[in-house]
Structure 1
Amino acid sequence: MAASSLELTTLGHRIRHHRLAKGFTLDELGAVVGVAGSQLSLIENGKREPKLSLLQGIATATGTDVTELLSPEPPNRRAALEIELERAQASPVFRRLGVPPVKITKGTPDETLESILGLHRELQRREREAIATPEEARRANTELRLAMRTRDNHLPEIEALAEKQLKAAGHVAGALTHRTVSIMASQLGFELIFAGDLPHSVRSVSDLENGRIYLPPASIPGGHGLRSMALQAMAHRLLGHRRPTDYADFLQQRLEINYYAACCLMPLTASVAFLQQAKRDRNLAVEDFRDAFGVTHEAAGMRMTNLLTAHLDIPLHFLRVDGNGAISRVYENDGLPLPMDVTGAVEGQIVCKRFLARSAFEEHNRTTEHYQYTDTPAGTFWCSTQTGTTAEGEFSITVGVPFDDARWFRGRESAKRATSTCPDETCCRRPPADVTARWEGKAWPSARVHMQMFSPLPRGAFPGVDDNEVYDFLERHAHG
């Protein structure tokens, strides 16, 4: 078997080391072992693999043995630096840069080699992190969304895992209690601890060495948020996750832990039974599903995307839209026409003004669900929308279905109807011709700059997480 380039490089350095230790020039040693000095030079530079008989001759001439020459260890610190730099400059990561490699000579100081190697090590570290450009992140997110659409947003293996864990913890029916979540954690060897000084960049921290899951104190007593965070932290262990290798891997893991938490909070068997009965009663409603399991409206709506198609044969769409009309979370397998960029990404796009997901912000009564039929180029869709507010601003949650499936839902009798012709610009994105004629060239708006335009995409194996903060936090609590 041919030796690798790294083995040949190390061998060459060891031959050169022993040659110089004996005071031989290349030509002098070549004369002793019967080859030209130029041939020895190729061997010492790792360009040619010597025959065993030649190695034996070199070992004898330099007062060593073949085993010593074949050692995988560099003969000295200088050789170690040169070998590491040669390997770094041959890596695909460096070659992709199109930068010419540094030529190493006898006169190159060790300090220079160390400085250059420091740059290469940092380059490799950054390459190993889950870094993505905004476009790469959008593409990864889009690919994941489309892949889940082919599965009707349903992951039966995680459903089964959640049911198994719930049964082992003694959960039978009703909303999942904090006590049961604590039992589930203890069965995995974890204790749930509430800490008021969690790093700002994390939702929770798992101390794998000491078996602790740190969570923030409850902001809403009895709220489902802490249960969900604890379940997500446990899911990483149950699903055998390793450090993400890239941004797509990070997104896949996040989807899976969110899915597992949803399966525990709204278990498959009980949820499907509830939804099937509501369908028989022609009374499907997000708010009823939400209240039955003590979760948020958004969580209930997203859980419906996991179950309605796979178990009730109803295609549907889900939208979370910010107050400015931008889509922040989306799923559809019913053909609803959605805005998208050239990469196919939908998140961040502005939804049509005619959609209830956006027009609901104009409603006076914001505490109830609103219903609407919307005629689109892809057909007519019915939807239910609920609005809410967070510290970041207002948002809406929408769950909708094609016209024919509206018969299963409460609110189907709604008389509210709208027409959307998006992506036609004349629908809601281009002002009417008479208004344009009146104001074009006579207005100069001062645009509000969105700071996220200048924010770098979070990077790291766990994007956006400050390792320094996390490790400081664990140090403070390690002996608590």
Structure 2
Amino acid sequence: MAPTNLELVTLGHRIRHERVARGWTLDELGAQVGVAGSQLSLIENGKREPKLSLVQAIAHATGLEVTDLLAAEPPNRRAALEIELERAQASPVFRSLGIPPVKVTKGMPDETIESILGLHRELDRREREAIATPEEARRANTELRLRMRERDNYLPEIEKLAEKQLAAAGHVSGALTHRTVSIMAERLGFELLYVNDLPRSARSVTDLENGRIYLPPASIPGGHGLRSMALQAMAHRLLGHQRPTSYADFLQQRLEINYFAACCLIPETNGVAFLQQAKKDRNLAVEDFRDAFGVTHEAAAMRMTNLMTQHLGIRLHFLRVDGSGAISRVYENDDLPLPMDVTGAVDGQIACRKWSARAAFSEQNRTTEHYQYTDTPAGTFWCATQTGTTADGEFSISVGVPFDDARWFRGRETTKRAVSSCPDEACCRRAPSELTSRWEGKAWPSARVHMQMFTPLPRGNFPGVDDSEVYAFLERHA
């Protein structure tokens, strides 16, 4: 294996150190080992790889072992500083600035090199913190969505891992209990602790040194949130995650830990058996799936996207839409014509007003699912939509399928039907001509400004998490 540039630089510094320590010039050492001083200079500067026979000759001349010359550690502090500076100035981050590198001379004080290195370290720190621009984050999210679409939102390796962990903890069937989750944590060497002072920027904190997973003391009704958060924290360890190095890496890890938690809350074997029986009975319903495993409506709906194409041969879509009509979470592999920007991003786009995901907000009775057929340019789709409310406002959860597959679902008899021609703006984004002629130029609404317009993308290896809060929290509890 060829030595790296860093190894050549270290070797060169070590040869120079030994030569200077003996008071030899380049030509004097070169004469002893049979090479020109100019060739030896290239080797000392890490510009040329010496043959093993030359390294052996230099070791013999200096009275050292070959292994001493090839040691990875720099020979002294000055050499270490010079090597670190050379590495920093060769980095893509520095080269992208177009600034010429500093040439180190013999007379340059160590303090000067240390000062320059301090600037490089800060540059590197800031680069690692700002791991994505908003545009890069949107592209990374879109690429991840498309990759999962190609896989039908199914990750068999994580499915198997979850079932193995559940079996080892003694879980057989039914809703996953908090006790079983605790046993799973104990088997990994962790204790679950519920505290009132978690950092506001973190959903949970794992203390790797003391084997603790800190969680909030309460969650949404049913406790799904607490179980899920604990399972996600464990998933990082089980999946061997390292600190994310890019926003795409962060999003991939988040998807994987969410997937693992979903696999534990609704195990593949039991979940597929339930769905297969419901399909046989022509009675597939998100609410039944939800109640059978004691999870939220959203978790059950999303879990259907993991299992139904792979095991039931049904393509489908999932939408979470907020009260303003913006799509906040999405999956589809049934060719539903989703709104998207020029980059292919869907999150944040406005769903058609005619779709069930928006129409359900106008229903008087919101305790049951809203069923609807919608004719679109890509065909007719059937949807089941459930609405809900959080502190942030209203939202809807929809699961839908192409017309032919509606026969397997409860609610297929609905007579509610809508026609959507989006992305044609005449569908629902442009006011009728009579209203436009009546009010155009006579209205001046006060726009509601969404603060996220001005919010910078979260920084750091774990975007949005305040390290100072987390470290102070761990110190309090250590």
TM-score (normalizing by structure 1): 0.88
User: 1:162 matched to which residue of 2?
Assistant: 162
Rounded Cα–Cα distance in structure 1 between residues aligned with 2:60 and 2:166: 71
Check if 1:89 corresponds to 2:107: no
Aligned residues: 477
Q: Aligned AA for 1:230?
A: A
Rounded Cα–Cα distance in structure 1 between residues aligned with 2:436 and 2:55: 85
Check if 1:270 corresponds to 2:265: no
User: 2:113 matched to which residue of 1?
Assistant: 113
SS of 1:398's partner is strand
Check if 1:122 corresponds to 2:115: no
User: 1:294 matched to which residue of 2?
Assistant: 294
What is the Cα deviation at residue 375 of structure 1? 0.7
User: 2:131 matched to which residue of 1?
Assistant: 131
What is the Cα deviation at residue 384 of structure 1? 1.0
Which 5+ residue runs of structure 2 have no aligned equivalent?
Answer: none
More deviation in 173-182 or 291-300? Answer: 173-182
Rounded Cα–Cα distance in structure 1 between residues aligned with 2:159 and 2:51: 60
| Contact 2:204/2:214 (<8 A) preserved | yes
More deviation in 396-405 or 172-181? Answer: 172-181
User: 1:338 matched to which residue of 2?
Assistant: 338
Rounded Cα–Cα distance in structure 1 between residues aligned with 2:273 and 2:324: 37
More deviation in 8-17 or 395-404? Answer: 8-17
Rounded Cα–Cα distance in structure 2 between residues aligned with 1:115 and 1:360: 62
Check if 1:375 corresponds to 2:367: no
Rounded Cα–Cα distance in structure 1 between residues aligned with 2:244 and 2:2: 34
| Contact 2:321/2:395 (<8 A) preserved | yes
SS of 1:200's partner is coil
User: 1:396 matched to which residue of 2?
Assistant: 396
Rounded Cα–Cα distance in structure 2 between residues aligned with 1:293 and 1:115: 59
User: 1:257 matched to which residue of 2?
Assistant: 257
What is the Cα deviation at residue 422 of structure 1? 0.8
Rounded Cα–Cα distance in structure 2 between residues aligned with 1:448 and 1:123: 38
Rounded Cα–Cα distance in structure 2 between residues aligned with 1:384 and 1:150: 24
More deviation in 252-261 or 382-391? Answer: 252-261
| Contact 1:185/1:234 (<8 A) preserved | yes
More deviation in 440-449 or 255-264? Answer: 440-449
Q: Aligned AA for 1:213?
A: I
User: 1:79 matched to which residue of 2?
Assistant: 79
Rounded Cα–Cα distance in structure 2 between residues aligned with 1:296 and 1:191: 25
| Contact 1:318/1:400 (<8 A) preserved | yes
User: 1:228 matched to which residue of 2?
Assistant: 228
CA gap 1:379/1:177 in 2 versus in 1, 3 angstroms:
same
SS of 1:428's partner is coil
Rounded Cα–Cα distance in structure 2 between residues aligned with 1:108 and 1:432: 75
Residues 441-475 of structure 1: CA distance to partner in whole angstroms, max 9, x if unpaired? 44444433322222222233322222222222222
User: 1:418 matched to which residue of 2?
Assistant: 418
Check if 1:359 corresponds to 2:364: no
SS of 1:427's partner is coil
Equivalence map 1:237-252=2 (5 Å): 237-252=237-252
Q: Aligned AA for 1:467?
A: D
CA gap 1:37/1:362 in 2 versus in 1, 3 angstroms:
same
More deviation in 18-27 or 261-270? Answer: 18-27
Residues 313-362 of structure 1: CA distance to partner in whole angstroms, max 9, x if unpaired? 22111100011111111111111100111221111111111112112222
Check if 1:469 corresponds to 2:469: yes
| Contact 1:129/1:245 (<8 A) preserved | no
Which 5+ residue runs of structure 1 have no aligned equivalent?
Answer: none
CA gap 1:208/1:32 in 2 versus in 1, 3 angstroms:
closer
Residues 152-173 of structure 1: CA distance to partner in whole angstroms, max 9, x if unpaired? 2222332233233323323233
What is the Cα deviation at residue 18 of structure 1? 5.5
Rounded Cα–Cα distance in structure 2 between residues aligned with 1:178 and 1:290: 17
How big is the alpha-carbon RMSD for the aligned residues of Structure 1 and Structure 2? Answer: 3.0
What is the Cα deviation at residue 56 of structure 1? 8.6
Rounded Cα–Cα distance in structure 1 between residues aligned with 2:186 and 2:391: 33
| Contact 2:222/2:294 (<8 A) preserved | no
What is the Cα deviation at residue 437 of structure 1? 4.0
CA gap 1:437/1:208 in 2 versus in 1, 3 angstroms:
same
SS of 2:272's partner is helix
More deviation in 25-34 or 96-105? Answer: 25-34
Rounded Cα–Cα distance in structure 2 between residues aligned with 1:54 and 1:159: 56
What is the Cα deviation at residue 34 of structure 1? 8.6
Rounded Cα–Cα distance in structure 1 between residues aligned with 2:49 and 2:151: 53
CA gap 1:277/1:69 in 2 versus in 1, 3 angstroms:
closer
Rounded Cα–Cα distance in structure 2 between residues aligned with 1:42 and 1:166: 60
Rounded Cα–Cα distance in structure 2 between residues aligned with 1:130 and 1:261: 28
What is the Cα deviation at residue 306 of structure 1? 1.5
Check if 1:6 corresponds to 2:23: no
| Contact 2:286/2:300 (<8 A) preserved | yes
Q: Aligned AA for 1:122?
A: E
CA gap 1:383/1:33 in 2 versus in 1, 3 angstroms:
closer
Residues 49-103 of structure 1: CA distance to partner in whole angstroms, max 9, x if unpaired? 5678887998899x77585766554444333222211121122332233332223
More deviation in 50-59 or 391-400? Answer: 50-59
Rounded Cα–Cα distance in structure 2 between residues aligned with 1:131 and 1:462: 10
More deviation in 71-80 or 334-343? Answer: 71-80
Rounded Cα–Cα distance in structure 1 between residues aligned with 2:157 and 2:52: 56
